[in-house]
Amino acid sequence: MRFHPSRRELLLALPSLAAISGASAAAESTPGLKDLAARQGRLYGAAAATYQLADRDFAAVLAREAAIIVPEYELKRFLVEPSPGHYDFSAAETLSAFAASHGLLMRGHPLVWHAANPPWLEQAVLSSRKEALLSGYVTAVASRFRGRMHSWDVVNEALEPSDGMPGGFRNSFWFKAFGPGYVELAFRAARAADPSALLVYNDFGCEAGMPANDLFRARTLSLLEQLLKRNVPVDAYGMQGHLSAYGPGIDPRKLGTFLAEIEAMGLRLIVTEHDVDDAGGPSDTVARDRAVADASQRFLDVVLERPALIGVLTWGLSDRYLRAEGMRASLFETGLRKLPLDRALVPTPLYRAMSAAFRTARPAR
C-alpha cells in the first residue's frame, strides 16, 4: 500500500501552530519551514532527541518549524534491545508523545542498520545465522508503533560499492550472514507489522557528482529494481542528503536523472537527513554560511523538481545540539554551522535558502 501525504495528514500538523504559547506574535505570523513546504504539499521535518525536549525554547521552535520528526538515536537498536529480547521503547515513546501532543508526524529510523547496534548482536547473527534476529526485531519494533509512524527507514545503508561485494552490497554482518536477501526479509516483516507506514530504503552515496557516486547510483537503481521485481514492499527511496560545502558537490544533471529514474519505478522520494558540513571552509562565518546555503539550494532545487518528493528532513534543526565531532568542531570558535537555525535559534542563510526553495518549488504530486 502506498502512503499518500494527504490533506488530512498535512492538516494534522497544523494545530501545533496554535499550541505554541511561548512563540512571539511576529514569529507566529511568519510562515515556518513546515508551512512553506505544506503549500507545495510537502513535509519539512527534523531529527530530534529526547534531551532536546527539556529545552523549552527549542521544543517550541521545533513544533513550529517541523511537521514531522525522526528520532536522532532513540530507535537505534543499541538502545531499543540492549540485551537479547529485552526491549526498551521509553525514549522513543517520549518523542512519540511529543509528536502526538503537538500534532506532528513521526518517522521511524532505522530498523536494520550495520551500526548503532548492541554489542551482542553481531556475534549472535554471525554465529547462529538466525533470521529471527533480523525479522523478529523488525516485527517487534514496527508492531509497537503500528499506525503511529508516517514512514520507516526499514533498511539503512545496505550498499557500499567500494566493499567489492556483488550488487554493491556493504560487507556488513547482515550481508555476511544472510546475503542480499536480508533486505527483502526486513521489508516483508515491516509491511506485515505495520501495513500503513511508508516503507523506505534509506542511504547516502548518491548525492555528490564524483565517479564513486556514479557507481553508487547505479547500484542503488539496480537494488530498487530487483526489490520491485520481486514484489518486495518498498515504497520510497530515502536520500540522506548529507552534503559538504567544501567537499565534492552535486552534479544537478546526474542527481536529477537518478531521482527521475526512481520516480519512474513508481517509488516516492524523501530527503531524510539533510545538512551541510562546513568543515574545511575559511574561518569567516559569513563566507561559510553562504557556502552552506548555496550547496543546499543547489541540492534542493534538483530534489524539489521531483513530483514524487514527499518532503525534506534535516538531521537536527539547530546547531545548538551539534556534538563536537573531534577536531573538526574545534576548528572554529563558532563550531560547525550546518543546520537551519544557529545556536541561538536564529535562522541562518541555510534557513533562508530552504524557505526560498520551498516557496519556488513545483508542487508534489
Contacting residues toward ligand XIL, per CB under 6 A: 72-73, 76, 116, 156, 240, 273
Distance, CA of 275 to CA of 340 (rounded, Å): 8
> Which CB sits closer to ligand XIL, 32 or 340?
340
Q: How far is the CB of 79 from ligand XIL (least distance, A)?
A: 9
For the record, the C-alpha cell of 30 comes out as 511568519
The Cα-based distances of 64 to 36, 58, 68, 225, 361 in angstroms read 12, 10, 11, 38, 21
Q: How far is the CB of 356 from ligand XIL (least distance, A)?
A: 26
Q: How far is the CB of 365 from ligand XIL (least distance, A)?
A: 26
- Backbone phi, psi, residue 277, to 5°: -70, 130
> Which CB sits closer to ligand XIL, 36 or 337?
337
Closest CB to ligand XIL: residue number: 73
> Which CB sits closer to ligand XIL, 73 or 246?
73
Q: How far is the CB of 153 from ligand XIL (least distance, A)?
A: 7
Please choose, from the candidates 124, 241, 125, the residue with its C-alpha nearest in 3D space to the C-alpha of residue 185: 125
The DSSP string of 52-121 is HHT-HHHHHHHHHH-SEEEESSTTSHHHH-SBTTB---HHHHHHHHHHHHTT-EEEE--SB-SSS--TTH
Question: Which are the contacts of 46, defined by CB distance < 8 A and separation ≥ 6?
Answer: 62, 65, 66, 69, 70, 313, 314, 315, 316, 317
Cβ–Cβ < 8 Å for 259, 270? no
For the record, the C-alpha cell of 290 comes out as 553562504
Cβ–Cβ < 8 Å for 149, 194? yes
Local structure of 202: helix, strand or coil? strand
Q: How far is the CB of 74 from ligand XIL (least distance, A)?
A: 9
> Which CB sits closer to ligand XIL, 1 or 115?
115
Alpha helices in 102-166 (DSSP H): 121-128, 132-144
> Which CB sits closer to ligand XIL, 32 or 108?
108
Q: How far is the CB of 71 from ligand XIL (least distance, A)?
A: 9
> Which CB sits closer to ligand XIL, 272 or 297?
272
Q: How far is the CB of 284 from ligand XIL (least distance, A)?
A: 27
> Which CB sits closer to ligand XIL, 73 or 173?
73
> Which CB sits closer to ligand XIL, 239 or 364?
239
**Cross-strand pairs, 208:** 250
Distance, CA of 212 to CA of 232 (rounded, Å): 27
> Which CB sits closer to ligand XIL, 35 or 273?
273
Q: How far is the CB of 47 from ligand XIL (least distance, A)?
A: 7
Cβ–Cβ < 8 Å for 177, 125? yes
Distance, CA of 17 to CA of 33 (rounded, Å): 12
For the record, the C-alpha cell of 260 comes out as 527521475
Q: How far is the CB of 19 from ligand XIL (least distance, A)?
A: 27
Distance, CA of 278 to CA of 243 (rounded, Å): 9
